[in-house]
Amino acid sequence: MSHALRAAAAAATAILLSFAAPVPASAGKADDTLNIAWAGELPTLDRYFNVLREGELVARMVFDSLLTVDPQTFDYKPLLASSYRFVDNRTIEFELRRDVRFHDGEPFDADDVVYTLNLMADPATRVLSRQNVDWIEKVEKIDTHMVRLTMKAPTPLALEYLSGPLLIYPRDYYSKVGSQGMGLRPVGTGPYKVTAFDPGKRIVFEANRAYFDGSPKGRPTIGRIVQRTIPDQNTQIAELLSGGVDWIWNVPNDQAAKLASMPNVVVQNAQTMRFGYLAFDASNRTGHSSPVNDVRVRQAIAHSIDRKTIVKRLVRGASEVIDAVCFPTQFGCVQDVATYDYDPVKAKALLAEAGYPNGLDIEFHAYRDRPVAEAMIGYMKAVGINAKLTYLQYEALRDKVYNGETDFTFMSWGSYSINDAAASVSQFFKGSKDDYARDPQVIGWLEGADSAIDPATRKDLYGKALRRIAEQAYWQPLFTYNVNYVHSKDIAFTPTADEIPRFYAVTWK
């Protein structure tokens, strides 16, 4: 979009918000219908075959997993399982609940668990996120309400996978209708059932009144939830203001601030696990030498940028500056690492020491948050670093990163909403296509941390890796992101750091 168009869009939004005085109360409360809107188009409701975040929101409503994680304390709790125990570091046994039925009336038992997990773990099934399943060796039925899961190798994230992405499907239904049938008419055990689905357009949920007592998710209270896909943010706001929808999210901070002052509208800002970072080609993967091959130049760049001001002025909300390459609540995300405070004098000195007393030119790639990228370029310019920005679509930039073609990038990472450093630091520093540090020591520590079961050992190894990464400035972590949830005053909604709104827990006020 050109600057002129963007300015026009901003003006339109301003008009939208200034004219919008009369806000009707939610139309939904009267007929017990919660109307929600988001921009994403879900192609299928079979969660194993969609990768959109919105798919996760739907999955949590319609399906259950063996365990669940408390979104506030991050503790694991049994959900479809009634209890579980580690037999050894590769084997877990689950005792299953006896009072659970699928939406089609079929009782839930061990056959469903064995069928679903073995099917999804089979490479021939071609689920889209292989890392969720490829640690499973096999799942066996011990009796009708008892199963045993065997891992290929000790997997610290096993419980994390079992409490999120590994949903349990009804064996009879899924083997009959397949992924396509499930994608259109899903049948699960969850607190809501889907009664209509128009792909990419609309989903209608109805409360599952037979949902089992004692579920940590709680029983649903709102009778009907209708989701509509509205691609344009301004249209979403117009719908919210005219009472057409009760809940929207990902509203930009400037608009959220204006919406917050309106009657009948509640704006909640919450931090998310996604964080932004600068990545450098420390190991010269591109093959052409670059100034950032030198640790002093990387440290100079880190010192040249005032992250606090960027957070305060641009990113805003609940965002925070971070120094370790992981989200602070993640297991193993130690905070006692080298930090690079805003210090242009030191940055200049480091550049001079590295042999660039008159500054240097460098290629810089980014795919999102252009204002933040531009601000960083301004800061770098002030110490003599001329960063030439190439702004690309995510897909195109990701290709370049994988192919080892980038010297210096501004990226972000959401850790699959997994509260463990294995989903952040290990994804990027274990020698994969993403790894531009290629530090054998770091790789060794992370491999140890990812396969150890003892928490103390893991924490120690992640700490070593994170400290080495910070000291060498392989990355400069920037800040965590935040999300604005905007909704009608009629509903009680609690945001969570994992960025997975739980609609089944929403109640009328």
Partner 1 sequence: MLAYSLKRLLLAVLVAVTVSVGSFALLRAAGDPAVAMAGHSATASDIEFIRETYGFNRPLPVQYADWLVKALQGDFGESLYFRMPVSRMLADKLPTTMTLGGLALAFALCVGLPLGIIAAIRPNSWIDRTALLISVTGQAMPTFWFALVLVVLFSITFPLLPPSGSGTWKHFVMPTVVLGYYATPAIMRLTRAGMLEVLASDYIRTARAKGLHPAVVLLKHALRNAVIPVVSLSAVQFGFMLGGSVVVETVFALHGTGQLAWESISRSDLPTVQAIVLVLSSFYVVLSLIADLLNAWLDPRIRVA
Binding site for partner 1 (CB under 8 A): 5, 8-9, 11-13, 15-16, 19-22, 24, 41, 43-44, 49, 51-52, 126, 128-131, 180, 183, 199-201, 228-232, 234-235, 238-239, 241-242, 244, 393-396, 398-399, 402, 413-414, 416, 427, 432-434
Query: Considering the complex, what minimum distance in angstroms separates the CB of residue 110 from partner 1?
Result: 30
Look up tokens 């600068």; give the residue.
278
CA distance 367 to 313: 20
Query: Considering the complex, what minimum distance in angstroms separates the CB of residue 435 from partner 1?
Result: 10
Among candidate residues 189, 174, 211, the one with its CA nearest the CA of residue 66: 189
Question: Nearer to partner 1 by C-beta: 200 or 455?
Answer: 200
Question: Phi-psi region for residue 385, left (φ > 0), alpha (ψ -120 to 50) or beta?
Answer: beta
Question: Nearer to partner 1 by C-beta: 70 or 399?
Answer: 399
Cβ burial 72-82 (10 Å sphere, 16+ → b, else e): eeeebebbbbe
CA distance 154 to 31: 50
Question: Nearer to partner 1 by C-beta: 200 or 355?
Answer: 200
Length of the chain: 509
Among candidate residues 304, 308, 407, 282, the one with its CA nearest the CA of residue 350: 304
Query: Considering the complex, what minimum distance in angstroms separates the CB of residue 195 from partner 1?
Result: 17
CA distance 267 to 199: 29
Contact 146, 195 (CB under 8 A): no
Query: Considering the complex, what minimum distance in angstroms separates the CB of residue 197 from partner 1?
Result: 12
Contact 332, 446 (CB under 8 A): no
Query: Considering the complex, what minimum distance in angstroms separates the CB of residue 490 from partner 1?
Result: 18
Question: Nearer to partner 1 by C-beta: 37 or 81?
Answer: 37
Among candidate residues 313, 320, 322, 328, the one with its CA nearest the CA of residue 340: 322
Query: Considering the complex, what minimum distance in angstroms separates the CB of residue 259 from partner 1?
Result: 13
Query: Considering the complex, what minimum distance in angstroms separates the CB of residue 396 from partner 1?
Result: 5
Among candidate residues 227, 208, 171, the one with its CA nearest the CA of residue 45: 227
Question: Nearer to partner 1 by C-beta: 165 or 191?
Answer: 165
Question: Nearer to partner 1 by C-beta: 139 or 182?
Answer: 182
What are the tokens at 421?
């450093």
Question: Nearer to partner 1 by C-beta: 8 or 87?
Answer: 8
Neighbouring CB atoms inside 10 A of 142's CB total 13
CA distance 382 to 77: 51
Question: Nearer to partner 1 by C-beta: 54 or 407?
Answer: 54
**Which residues are bridge partners to 507 per DSSP?**
492
Query: Considering the complex, what minimum distance in angstroms separates the CB of residue 286 from partner 1?
Result: 17
Question: Nearer to partner 1 by C-beta: 50 or 299?
Answer: 50
CA distance 201 to 231: 10
Query: Considering the complex, what minimum distance in angstroms separates the CB of residue 183 from partner 1?
Result: 7
